């Protein structure tokens, strides 16, 4: 019998609509019964005559759990790709449901074990908000207290930003600049339809607001030797950490052979073109390809900035110099990163030369 305790909606998504349960490879199964006795949700029963497990109540299976497959000595249990669950977790309503659940059960779930916090939390004040491209805000923040800043951050890192007067509503954004000495950071905030945080950012955030921030986090930082040519690939607001890395190179190695491919759906979506123009002016070794699915007569930005119709993979394939003997740095939607990883693998690019921003965007 499906157990209502286990088949209730998963973070607001009806359990029946989520196809997550084990399947038994009968030819491989040795009938040990570990899966049957080990699953506390009674997904399985045992066929004592055939000595095989039977998936009787698939909806009892916990979404995302693979414990039985991990403990099967014959590797006889398979699950749908975990990408299915990760895609659900990317839904705004699912994220809100998890946030609400945490708050509703705060007293039960709050940790009583105090772990020293390795990251710094500081106050930042909103200095400027650029709303010039509809779906992306470019927000610059500076330390409220001089000296209390992320002054030591490495280009490619991100910070977590709290909505003012909320103890829990926060989102993480890559820093889109190299350190400027004054602790200022610029973030690219993409509008998420129905998203709580971005609704505040787009509708209510104003210059002078003070926000708590934690960081700097993640290690999507420059790892390449100084003489290695570089290929940067960005999708959407994955441009932010890539811009930080490019600014770092413009500061320290402007002659370096570098190519940036940045993909967007349409030409009108490209933002921060002023920052790209400034970069190619400072770094003669840099050329930039802007790839858009729909290419409607783009205005020329700079001779070193070229528009192409198609996606970032198409742009890479159509350029004989790419990827070449380059280290690759990529940030953007997980789907783009996966496809890029496959394409580079097929081209024989060694994984040690590929650096992906696992934080995604």
CB of 17 to ligand SF4, least distance (A): 17
CB of 68 to ligand SF4, least distance (A): 3
Choose one: 71-79, 200-208, 218-226, 280-288; the region binding ligand SF4 (CB under 6 A).
71-79
Indicate the residue among 47 and 152 with the shorter CB distance to ligand SF4.
47
- Size of residue set near ligand SF4 by CB under 6 A: 24
CB of 145 to ligand SF4, least distance (A): 49
Show the 3-state SS of 97-133.
Answer: HHHHHHHHCHHHHCCCCCCCCCCEEEEEEEEEEEEEE
Indicate the residue among 72 and 356 with the shorter CB distance to ligand SF4.
72
CB of 38 to ligand SF4, least distance (A): 6
For residue 178, what are its two tokens? 């190299």
Q: What is 244-295 written as a DSSP string?
A: HHHHHHHHH-TTS-EEEEEEEEEGGG---HHHHHHHHHH-TTEEEEEEEEE-
The answer for residues whose C-beta is within 8 angstroms of residue 195's C-beta and 6 or more apart is 92, 95
CB 35 within 8 A of CB 22: yes
Per CB under 6 A, contacts with ligand SF4 among 284-313 are: none
For residue 333, what are its two tokens? 């939607």
CB 155 within 8 A of CB 144: no
Show the 3-state SS of 163-223.
Answer: CCCCCCCEEEEEECCCCCCCCCEEEEEECCCCCHHHHHHHHCCCCCCEEEEEEEECCCCCC
CB of 54 to ligand SF4, least distance (A): 10
Indicate the residue among 55 and 278 with the shorter CB distance to ligand SF4.
55
DSSP 8-state secondary structure symbol assigned to residue 78: E
Q: In the chain, what are the helix, strand and coil shares in percent, each to the nearest 5?
A: 30, 25, 45
Indicate the residue among 41 and 96 with the shorter CB distance to ligand SF4.
41
CB of 87 to ligand SF4, least distance (A): 18
Indicate the residue among 30 and 121 with the shorter CB distance to ligand SF4.
30
Binding status of residue 98 toward ligand SF4 by CB under 6 A: no
From candidates 18, 77, 222, 344, binder to ligand SF4 by CB under 6 A: 77
Per CB under 6 A, contacts with ligand SF4 among 11-70 are: 22, 24, 29-35, 39, 41, 43, 53, 61-62, 65-68
CB of 55 to ligand SF4, least distance (A): 8
> Which spans of this chain sit near ligand SF4 (rule: CB under 6 A)?
22, 24, 29-35, 39, 41, 43, 53, 61-62, 65-68, 72-74, 76-77
């Amino acid at each position: 019998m499906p157990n209502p305790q286990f088949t209730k909606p998963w973070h607001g998504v009806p359990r029946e609509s989520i196809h997550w349960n084990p399947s038994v490879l009968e030819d491989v199964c040795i009938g040990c019964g570990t899966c049957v006795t080990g699953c506390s949700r009674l997904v399985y029963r045992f066929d004592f005559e055939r000595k095989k497990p039977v998936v009787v109540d698939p909806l009892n299976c916990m979404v995302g759990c693979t414990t039985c497959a991990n403990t099967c000595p014959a590797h006889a249990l398979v699950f749908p790709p975990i990408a299915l669950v990760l895609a659900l977790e990317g839904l705004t309503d699912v994220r809100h449901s998890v946030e609400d659940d945490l708050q509703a059960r705060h007293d039960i779930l709050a940790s009583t074990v105090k772990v020293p916090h390795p990251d710094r939390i500081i106050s930042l004040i909103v200095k400027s908000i650029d709303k010039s491209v509809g779906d992306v805000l470019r927000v610059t923040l500076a330390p409220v207290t001089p000296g209390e800043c992320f002054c030591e951050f490495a280009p490619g890192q991100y910070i977590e930003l709290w909505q003012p007067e909320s103890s829990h509503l926060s989102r993480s954004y890559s820093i889109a600049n190299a350190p400027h000495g004054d602790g200022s950071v610029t973030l690219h905030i993409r509008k998420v339809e129905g998203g709580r945080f971005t609704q505040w950012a787009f509708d209510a955030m104003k210059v002078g607001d003070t926000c708590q921030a934690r960081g700097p986090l993640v290690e999507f930082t420059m790892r390449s030797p100084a003489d290695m040519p570089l290929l940067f690939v960005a999708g959407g607001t994955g441009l932010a950490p890539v811009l930080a890395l490019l600014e770092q190179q413009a500061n320290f190695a402007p002659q370096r052979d570098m190519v940036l491919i940045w993909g967007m759906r349409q030409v009108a979506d490209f933002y921060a073109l002023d920052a790209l123009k400034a970069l190619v002016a400072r770094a003669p070794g840099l050329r930039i390809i802007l790839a858009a699915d729909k290419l409607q007569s783009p205005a020329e930005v700079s001779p070193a900035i070229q528009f192409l119709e198609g996606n970032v993979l198409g742009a890479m394939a159509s350029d004989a110099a790419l990827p070449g003997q380059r280290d690759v740095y990529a940030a953007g939607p997980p789907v783009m990163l996966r496809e890029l990883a496959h394409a580079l693998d097929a081209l024989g690019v060694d994984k040690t030369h590929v650096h992906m921003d696992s934080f995604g965007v």
